[in-house]
Every structure is written in C-alpha cells, then in structure tokens.
C-alpha cells in the first residue's frame, strides 16, 4: 500500500519512522517532509490546502492511504475532499475537527454531555466578556476560540490582565481565531496528554505522555509548542486512565456519533488531573508534537494496521501492544524560540547522536543545504531515547544531545524532572 503523509515536523518524522516499519507499506511519500524524513520517504512539495492537487497527486502516484499530521488541513477539510474522491485517510472530517478548531464548540459539548472540564463562558464581544470577569476568581484563563498555534491562551492573574487578553483577542492578535473568546476557571493539578484511536464508534486507548510547555528549566518562561516529553505519564495510573476513557473520551466519541459527525482518527485529550479526577483542558484532533516522538518509540504494534482499522471502522479488532519501557524526548530549539528563531545555523553530529543504541533523532525544523543540515524553524530536533525507566531514558537522551554540535541551539536540561522526582 502506497501512503502519503502530510506534514513536516518532528511528529511526522516519528510517524514516518514507524510507518516505514510496516510490512504492509509500499511507497511512502511525505508532503512536504524534512531532511530527516527524506531518509525514509520521498519528499514532495504539495500544498495541503489545495485539495484538488492532493487528490491528483494520489491518483498519479497510486496512493491509497493519506495520513494527515497537523491540525490545519483537518480543520480545512482535506479529509472531506479525500472522502468524496474515495481515497482512504487517517484523520477526522472538518466537522469532527471542530473539537480542536473551536474551544467554544468543545466546551458546549462537554456541558451538554456532562464531561468534566473547567467552568466557562463564551463571548463574541469584549464588553460581555469583561462583564463576565466580575463573576470569576483569579487566576482565570482567557482563550481565543480558534486555532492560534498554541499562542491563544493567557492565564490571567488579575482582572486587568484578563481584560488585556480579551482586548488582544478582539483586536485581531489571533486573526479569525480570536473572533470569540472562552473564559474559564483555572484548574489546579498535574497535566497529562492522553491519546486514543477512534473509528467513529469504537475507541481504543493508546498511551499517555507528559509535555514540557514552558521554554525554561523548572517550567519557567513563555509557553512553547513543547520542549520535551516522556511516556508514560506516571500520573496516568490505571484508575486515571479508566476514568479518562469512561468520563471523557468515550462520552465525546458517542456524542460526536449521535450528532452525525463521528470522530475518526486520533483524539488527543489534554488533561488536568485534579483532586476530583481527570478534567478536560482541551482536545486536539491529531497526534501531539513532541508526544508522538515518545509514543512511536514505545508502540510495538504496526501503526499502519491501526490507522487503517481507524479508517475502516474495524478498531474493535485491534489491540495495541506497548513496550513497558519509558521513552523521553528532548527538543533542541533554535536560539530565539519561541520568539523569532535564528535560521540557517549549522548542526553537526546528528548521525553520531542517532548511532547510540535506543536513540532516534527526529528532525522537526531542519533544512539540507549543500549536504549540511541547518536550522530552519523554532523546534529543530527531537532527540529521543528509551530506557527501563524515565531516568534511564533521560540519561541516554542527554548523552545523545551532547553528541550534537550546534552552537545556535539550546535545550532544557531537565526534561522528565516531574516523573523522576516521584521515584
């Protein structure tokens, strides 16, 4: 089977790495891909928002399965166009992708179906949003409704900060994504990421992970797309996992099916594990980045088989096998990230790092120039390792990091601290 993978990040490199291990795979093509993916797949430039071009490409290259990595093409309806053309795909429809595309949509769904989440209000103008602040305790959380590349969330410590966040949203700081705001209760607890595959009706749990969102050590400084992750997340005990499936994930999948917009793909629940149990912070309708890098290192089963079952509605017959080992990934970012990252600095030693046993270096934002690898984004590499424990995986991942010679980059040295601190 010939597969087209859409995307260019560390997540897609990890997916390509795992798909390439499937005996079912014929050719693998990635659009646009990156220099790391180029070792595993043919990389082509294709605009995923040009649905007709993607469909033409599939027909011309006998591609019978399309895996969509990032959220934007999902929210943009690429899978709907593929469905109309009879091309099998992994990823939800545009209407099911609303679970990520609109925070207000998800909050309303949670309210209607009794799914635990932070109490909230949803507003289309600044005056009403500000009036609602009078009912809130601080800190409170102000969110742009739509996709804002992880930048649309402000934890406001005071009413003045919350008002400034509301004004920023409605003055267009996040474009169309800020046409509505959600204001919600601040949840206390430990965050975890949880992944499940859904075929529209059946749901099977994947695994848990924990991400480090802040740029600085000890979880300080501005939020990023994620500076590192590990799996499993110790806070996701068997009980917490069962509660998450029963109280959050299954009711959501059932609700989407009942509404006539069944969810097919991977549902990524961002959770706060509170004193009352798991609460939903947000949904993503695709794999996490960098969580995928650690998930793929632990997945023993054939990813392509699982993805096909998700598309075919046969997930009930699939059982995923996971390694008992832990995996940990350290994101190596370009100086300046999460502001404006410095591009074009040369990176050496990637092969030496990847040559270590139980280590994979996934490319996230690199470019090949005359046989050299240079930085071409904010998050540039995801240096990933496994070990019997998170501590062992961490030691190995940093050993690999230390083989990389990149004066223009930086990474956190404390990825995994929370998990390691528990043991």
Rule CB under 6 A: say whether 215 interacts with ligand AMP. no
Question: What H or E segment, with its residue span, contains residue 162?
Answer: helix 159-170
Least distance (Å) between residue 331 CB and ligand AMP: 16
Q: Which stretch binds ligand AMP (CB under 6 A): 1-9, 40-48, 178-186, 194-202?
A: 178-186
Q: Is 282 in the site for ligand AMP (CB under 6 A)?
A: yes
**Interatomic CA distance for residues 154 and 350, integer angstroms:** 36
- Position 281 contacts ligand AMP (CB under 6 A): yes
CA dihedral defined by 53, 54, 55, 60, rounded to 10 degrees? Answer: 80
Complex with ligand GLY: residue 140 or 284, whichever CB lies closer: 284
Q: Which is nearer to ligand GLY, 17 or 170 (CB)?
A: 17
- Pull the structure tokens for residue 136: 């809130």
- Residue pair 370/295 in contact (Cβ under 8 Å)? The answer is no
Q: Is the CB of 308 or the CB of 327 nearer to ligand GLY?
A: 327
What are the structure tokens assigned to 116, written together? 């635990």
Phi, psi of 324 (to 5 degrees): -75, -10
Q: Least distance (Å) from ligand GLY to the CB of residue 371?
A: 31
CB atoms within 10 A of CB 149: 10
Cβ atoms of 41 and 63 closer than 8 Å? no
Considering only the stretches 185-193, 234-242, 251-259, 402-410, report the one whose residues sit in contact with ligand AMP under the rule CB under 6 A.
185-193
Closest among 372, 381, 333 to 354, alpha carbons compared: 381
Q: Site mask, ligand AMP, residues 100-119, x = CB under 6 A?
A: ------------------x-
Angle formed by the axes of helices 126-133 and 159-170, to 10°? 160
161 binds ligand AMP (CB under 6 A): no
Bridge partners, residue 272, by sequence: 191, 279
DSSP letter for 273, please: E
For 401, counting Cβ atoms within 10 Å of its Cβ (0-12 exposed, 13-18 middle, 19+ buried), the class is buried
Q: Of 3-11, 53-61, 184-192, 355-363, which part binds ligand AMP (CB under 6 A)? A: 184-192
Q: Which is nearer to ligand AMP, 225 or 265 (CB)?
A: 225
Query: Among residues 163, 191, 217, 247, which is the contact residue for ligand AMP, using CB under 6 A?
Result: 191
Cross-strand partners of 122: 182
Rounded-to-integer distance, Cα 216 and Cα 234, Å:
22
Residues making contact with ligand GLY (CB under 6 A)? 211, 225-226, 284, 288-289, 291
Per-residue contact string for residues 216-255; x = within reach of ligand AMP by CB under 6 A:
----------------------------------------
Nearer to ligand AMP, 40 or 156 (CB): 156
Please state the closest distance from residue 279 (CB atom) to ligand AMP, in A: 8
Among 107, 213, 379, 403, binds ligand AMP (CB under 6 A): 213
Question: Rounded to whole angstroms, how far apart are CA atoms 212 and 217?
Answer: 9
Choose the one of ligand AMP, ligand GLY, none that binds residue 199, judging by a C-beta under 5 to 8 angstroms depending on kind. Answer: none
Q: Which residues pair with 143 in a beta bridge?
A: 153, 182
Shortest gap between Cβ of 150 and ligand GLY (angstroms)?
Answer: 6
Phi, psi of 162 (to 5 degrees): -65, -40
Residue 289 partner contact from ligand AMP, ligand GLY, none using kind-dependent CB cut-offs of 5 to 8 Å: ligand GLY
Residues within the interface to ligand AMP (CB under 6 A): 118, 141, 150, 153, 184-187, 191, 213, 270, 281-282
């Amino acid at each position: 089977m010939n597969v087209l993978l859409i995307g260019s990040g560390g997540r897609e490199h990890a997916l390509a790495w795992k798909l390439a291990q499937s005996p079912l795979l014929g050719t693998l093509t990635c659009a646009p891909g990156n220099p790391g993916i180029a070792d595993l797949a043919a990389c082509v430039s294709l605009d995923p928002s040009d649905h007709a071009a993607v469909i033409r490409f599939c027909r011309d290259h006998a591609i019978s399965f399309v895996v969509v990595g990032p959220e934007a093409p999902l929210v943009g309806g690429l899978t709907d166009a593929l469905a109309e053309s009879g091309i099998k795909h992994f990823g939800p429809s545009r209407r099911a992708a609303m679970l990520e595309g609109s925070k207000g949509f998800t909050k309303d769904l949670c309210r209607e179906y009794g799914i635990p989440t932070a109490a909230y209000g949803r507003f289309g103008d600044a005056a009403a949003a500000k009036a609602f602040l009078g009912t809130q305790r601080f800190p409170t959380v102000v969110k742009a409704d739509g996709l804002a590349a992880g930048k649309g969330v402000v934890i406001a410590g005071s009413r003045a900060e919350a008002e400034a966040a509301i004004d920023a949203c409605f003055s267009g700081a996040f474009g169309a994504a800020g046409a509505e705001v959600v204001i919600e209760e601040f949840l206390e607890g430990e965050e975890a990421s949880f992944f499940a595959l859904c075929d529209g009706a059946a749901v099977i749990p994947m695994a848990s992970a924990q991400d480090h969102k802040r740029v600085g050590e000890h979880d300080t400084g501005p939020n990023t797309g994620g500076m590192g992750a590990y799996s499993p997340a110790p806070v996701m005990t068997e009980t917490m996992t069962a509660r998450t499936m029963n109280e959050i994930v299954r009711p959501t999948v059932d609700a989407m099916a009942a509404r006539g917009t069944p969810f097919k793909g991977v549902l990524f629940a961002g959770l706060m594990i509170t004193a009352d149990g798991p609460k939903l912070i947000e949904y993503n309708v695709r794999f996490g980045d960098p969580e995928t890098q650690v998930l793929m290192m632990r997945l023993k089963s054939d990813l392509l088989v699982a993805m096909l079952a998700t598309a075919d509605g046969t997930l009930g017959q699939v059982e995923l096998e996971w390694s008992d080992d832990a995996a940990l990934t350290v994101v190596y970012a370009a100086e300046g990230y999460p502001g404006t990252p410095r591009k074009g600095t040369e990176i050496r030693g990637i092969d030496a790092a990847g040559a270590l046993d139980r280590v994979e270096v996934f490319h996230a934002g690199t470019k090949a120039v005359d046989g050299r690898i240079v930085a071409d984004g904010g998050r540039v590499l995801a240096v990933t390792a496994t070990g019997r424990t998170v501590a062992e995986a961490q030691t190995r991942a940093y050993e690999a990091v230390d083989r990389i010679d990149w004066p223009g980059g930086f990474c956190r040295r404390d990825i995994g601290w929370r998990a390691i601190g528990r043991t």
